[in-house]
Structures are given as C-alpha cells and as structure tokens.
Amino acid sequence: MNDVIAALATPAGRSALAIVRMSGQGSIKLVESLMKLNSGRLCGIRRSVGSLYRGQQEVDSIVAISWPEGKSYTGEEMVELICHGVPAIAREILSLLMEQGVREARPGEFTRRAFLSGTLDGVDVIALSNLWEGGGAGIAGAFREMANRILDVIERAREELEGRIEFGESHGVGMSMAEVEQLISSIRDDLTVLRSKAGILDGRSRLFIMGPTNTGKSTLFNLLAGGEYAVVSDRSGTTRDGRSVEVEIEGRSILLHDTAGVGGRDLDGEAGRIVEVSLTDADRIVWLTDENGKGPGAELTSSVGDLLAVQPMSDLHERTGFRISSLTGEGVQELRSWLVSSPGEISLTGLALAVSRDIDESSEHLEAAEEAIAASLLTGAAERLRSILREEELEICVERALSKLCVGK
C-alpha cells in the first residue's frame, strides 16, 4: 500500500493561486477531516469550497477537488487543493499535511504512480517528460503509429522469406525475391523518420569530453561537432572555458561540452573547478586518457552514470582498449554509435538504430542468397520494435524520463 504523498504542483513564488497535489488511499478522508466536512462529502469527483483548519485555526480558504480511485491521474485517490498563491501559505498547508502523516512527494512520483497503475504507458511518460524539456506534444502517438506500420511490413517480409525457404521448391506461390527486397527497402524512409522521432522522445543527452591536458579533447570535440567550435592548438592548456554546442548525431540530440584539462597549471585549475561544478548536469562522459593511461578518479566514475574511457591519438601511441584517432578516424564511428545508443540500448534512439541496422544487414544477406540469416535479422528487428511498444522493456527509458521530472509532477 502506498503512502499518501503531497507536493506543491505550481512554481514557488507569488501568484494568484497555487495547487497542492495529494495522492494515495486515505487522502480524501484526510482532507474531509481537515476541512471539517461531513464524511463522504468528497466522495466521487467533487469540489468543495471551504477552509483548511489546524485545530480551530483557519489556515487558508481553499477549493478542494477530489478524484476517487481509478479515476485520477495516478490511479489512486487524489485531492488537489487550490489555495492562495503565497509561498508561506503553501508551506503552511504542506506542514499541516505532514503533521497528519503525509509524506512529501519525490520528484516525478505522481507520474511514476500514474505509470505503475497503467493510466499512462511508457511512451506517454517519456513524451510527458519531454514536454517539460520543450519538446512537442503528440509525439508519442505518432511514434507508436510509425513503429506499428514498420512492424507490419517487417512481419510480411519475414513471412514471405520463410515461405520461400520452406516451400520455395514445391509451391511456387507468393512473392519473388525482387519483390521481397523491394518490400524491405520500402521501409527505409520510414525508419529514418522513426529514428528522428525516437530522438525527440529521448530528449537531449548531455555529454562531457574530459581528461588530462592535451589529450586531444578539443580535436575530438571538433570532429564530433563537425565544426571548428573549440580552439585547438599544440600548446598545452589552450581551451580556457568549457565550450558547448548542440549537435545531432543520427537523429539524437547531444549537448557536447568541451572541458578544460583536469590538473595542470593555475589557469587550468580555475577553469577545472568551473567544470566540476557543472558536472552534476552530465549524463555521460567520454574520458580521454593520457599516455600513462591515467583514468578518471573513482569519485567521478561513481557519480556519473555513464562513462566511457577512451585511448585517444592511437595514430601516435600504441594503445590497447578502446582506441580512437581523430586523425585516422579509427574508432570514431564506434564512438558515435555509443553516443546515440546507451548501455543495453536503453534509449529509444538506440533501439530504433538497432532496428535500422538489422534491416540493412538483412538486405545485404538477401543479396548473398543467405535467406535464413536475412529472416533471422528481420525476426530480431521485429522483436525490438515490439519491445519498444511493450511496457516492461520500455521501463528503463521510463525511469530516465521520470528522473528528469521535478517535485510535483
């Protein structure tokens, strides 16, 4: 059984009205008693204009709106209290509720409960979270529709291939190989659209390029960013302040930050501290190691979720591990793939990208008359699409989306 939670759902600050949102079994009875209403007054979807009391003392005159279980945003009993938009009053109301055993909601908790109760599905949550980040509304539906359309074509193509394998020599019914190939090519454009919609749904990813001085961070930054944004030079410590630019890689929106080298001279130290402060915003880090292979500190590794240690300048030094060279281009493609996907492909973009790759590989194998492999790849692509559309695998994307929401959502 869930606790009753409450939180301010409107921005802190002065305004005409503020809303305190509550969710959980027992919230309705609680508000009834605090408003000194008759029991049952807030039963069903009701509104009551009255006052909140602490004992005999009136705290504020409010409008309470109730939803019964099953009919609310979270699926549980909910009450929303519309009060005067004065910060002190809102705080007072919240303390009153805490005194009654209500807990302050965690960031995104209302939406989490909505997801768990089934009111929202995974795609809805991601879309909602993204709405707050400035993305467009209605993306979720369009994404789902496109995914379903692509899935239908893949299934048809797969069925045809399997039919050719099992019955090709006896029945001679169905599509020719050329027609199957054409069917598969027909979804390429749709897949590109799917990837970009997935990128929008995933939202922006904040990527930091870090490492000791002169490991080639700025060069890599330029390579990934596709322009001359950071000043690159052979002299150690050229980049003084972090430069950032938003780039799009394979449909995924990435905010790249080039950072000053960690350690080194005074000036760099200053800049380095600035970087550390803004580090809490990082989603992922690419850490370029120096010739000694010096890696990131343990603190950094544990505080940021996702870190990729990379050995740059493989053209200059003999390297092991994940090597890249901005000069020869070694490893750059792999790095770009890592950027758009995530460990275990937990982003929609990553999943959509994997589907695209499966389809392309499938076509290649069709040309080589390896129909069994082509069919298996199509099966894999179909399974991925189904997992995008089904809830339990989307969960991880949902977790990330929920974590981006703040208190009251």
Partner 1 sequence: MIRDVAIAGAGHAGIEAALAASRKGCSVVLITTSLRRIGEMSCNPAIGGVAKGTLVREIDVLGGAMAESADATALQYRMLNRRKGPAVWGPRVQSDLMLYAKRQRYLLSTAGIDLIEDEVVALSGQTEHPDGFVCRKRGEVRARAMVIATGTFLAGRLFRGEERWKGGRIGDIAADSLESDLRKRMFHVKRFKTGTPPRIVRNTVDLDNLDVQEEDPVRFRFSFREGEVSARREKCFTVRTCSRTRNAAVKYMAKSPLFSGSIGGLGPRYCPSFEDKVVKFPDRTDHLINVEPTGFRSRLLYLNGLSTSLPREAQEEMVRSLPGFSGALIALYGYAVEYSSLENSEIDVSLRLRRTENVFAAGQILGTSGYEEAAALGLLAGANAAKRAAGEEPLVAPGRADSYLGVMVDDLVNVKQEEPYRLFSSRAENRLQIRQDNAITRLMPFAIRLGTARRDDIRRWKRRERESGDITGTLGTIRLEGKKAIEICRRPETDVDRMIEAVPILRKYDRDTISSVILDEKYRGYIERSRRKLRARDRLKSVPLSAIDSYMDISEICWEAREALERERPASLGEAARLAGVRSADIEGLIIYLSRGRSARRILRST
List residues binding partner 1 (CB under 8 A). Answer: 116, 159, 162-163, 165-174, 365, 368-373, 375-376, 380, 390-392, 395
Decide whether 238 or 379 has the Cβ nearer to partner 1: 379
Decide whether 84 or 386 has the Cβ nearer to partner 1: 386
* Residue 6: CB minimum distance to partner 1, A: 21
Decide whether 294 or 386 has the Cβ nearer to partner 1: 386
CA nearest to 306, candidates 205, 189, 191, 388: 205
Decide whether 205 or 356 has the Cβ nearer to partner 1: 356
If you search the block for the tokens 């006896």, which residue do you land on? 170
Decide whether 316 or 372 has the Cβ nearer to partner 1: 372
Structure tokens at 313: 């300048």
Decide whether 65 or 389 has the Cβ nearer to partner 1: 389
* Residue 156: CB minimum distance to partner 1, A: 10
User: Within 13 Å, how many C-alpha atoms sit on residue 200's CB side?
Assistant: 18
Decide whether 330 or 370 has the Cβ nearer to partner 1: 370
Decide whether 116 or 346 has the Cβ nearer to partner 1: 116
B/e letters for 106-132, b = 16+ CB within 10 Å, e = fewer, are: ebbbbbbbbbebebbbbbbbbbbbbee
Decide whether 170 or 280 has the Cβ nearer to partner 1: 170
* Residue 371: CB minimum distance to partner 1, A: 5
Task: Residue 333: count other Cβ atoms within 10 Å of its Cβ.
Answer: 10
Task: Residue 293: count other Cβ atoms within 10 Å of its Cβ.
Answer: 12
* Residue 364: CB minimum distance to partner 1, A: 8
Q: At a CB cut-off of 8 Å and minimum separation 6, what does 169 contact?
A: none
Helix 348-367 with 332-340: angle, nearest 10 deg: 130
Decide whether 132 or 167 has the Cβ nearer to partner 1: 167
* Cα–Cα distance, 194 to 186 (Å, whole number): 14
* Residue 151: CB minimum distance to partner 1, A: 16
If you search the block for the tokens 């909602």, which residue do you land on? 128
* Residue 376: CB minimum distance to partner 1, A: 6
Using alpha carbons, list the distances in angstroms from residue 243 to 58, 206, 256, 264. Answer: 54, 13, 8, 19
* Residue 172: CB minimum distance to partner 1, A: 4
Are the beta carbons of 73 and 116 closer than 8 angstroms? Answer: no
* Cα–Cα distance, 157 to 166 (Å, whole number): 14
* Residue 102: CB minimum distance to partner 1, A: 21
Decide whether 72 or 215 has the Cβ nearer to partner 1: 72
End-to-end CA distance of the chain: 20
* Residue 237: CB minimum distance to partner 1, A: 42
CA nearest to 402, candidates 149, 128, 43: 128
* Residue 176: CB minimum distance to partner 1, A: 14
* Residue 316: CB minimum distance to partner 1, A: 23
